[in-house]
Amino acid sequence: MGSAFESVLRRERAVVIAALAILTALAWMDLAWLADDMAMGGMDMSGFRMIPAGQGLMMPASAPWQPIEFAYVFAMWIVMMIGMMTPSVAPMILIYARVGKQAEMSGQAFAASAWFAAGYLVAWTGFSLATTFAQWALQRGALLTPMMESASNVLGGVVLIAAGVYQWTPVKEACLSYCQAPLTFIIRHGGFRREATGALALGFRHGLYCIGCCWALMLLLFVGGVMNLLWIAALAVLVLLEKAMPFGKSVSRVAGVAFIAMGAWLLLHP
The tens digit of pLDDT for each residue in 24-48 reads 999 999 999 998 888 765 566 667 7
Rounded to two decimals, the pTM is: 0.90
To the nearest whole number, what is the mean pLDDT of the chain? 87
Residue 72 confidence (pLDDT) above 80? yes
Of 2-11, 165-174, 254-263, least confident by mean pLDDT is 2-11
Average pLDDT for residues 162-188, to the nearest whole number? 91
Contact 140, 59 (CB under 8 A): no
For residues 249 and 49, give the distance between their C-alpha atoms in angstroms, rounded to a whole number.
Answer: 38
Lowest mean pLDDT among 124-138, 145-159, 219-233: 145-159
Q: Which residues of 115-154 are buried (b: 16+ CB within 10 A; e: fewer)?
A: bbbbbbbebbbebbeebbeebbebbeeebbbbbbbbbbbe
The alpha helices in 62-152, defined as continuous H runs, are 67-105, 113-140
On whether the CB atoms of residues 157 and 267 are closer than 8 A, the answer is: yes
Phi, psi of 143 (to 5 degrees): -100, 0
Question: Which pLDDT tens digit goes with each residue over 140-165?
Answer: 888 888 778 888 899 999 999 999 99
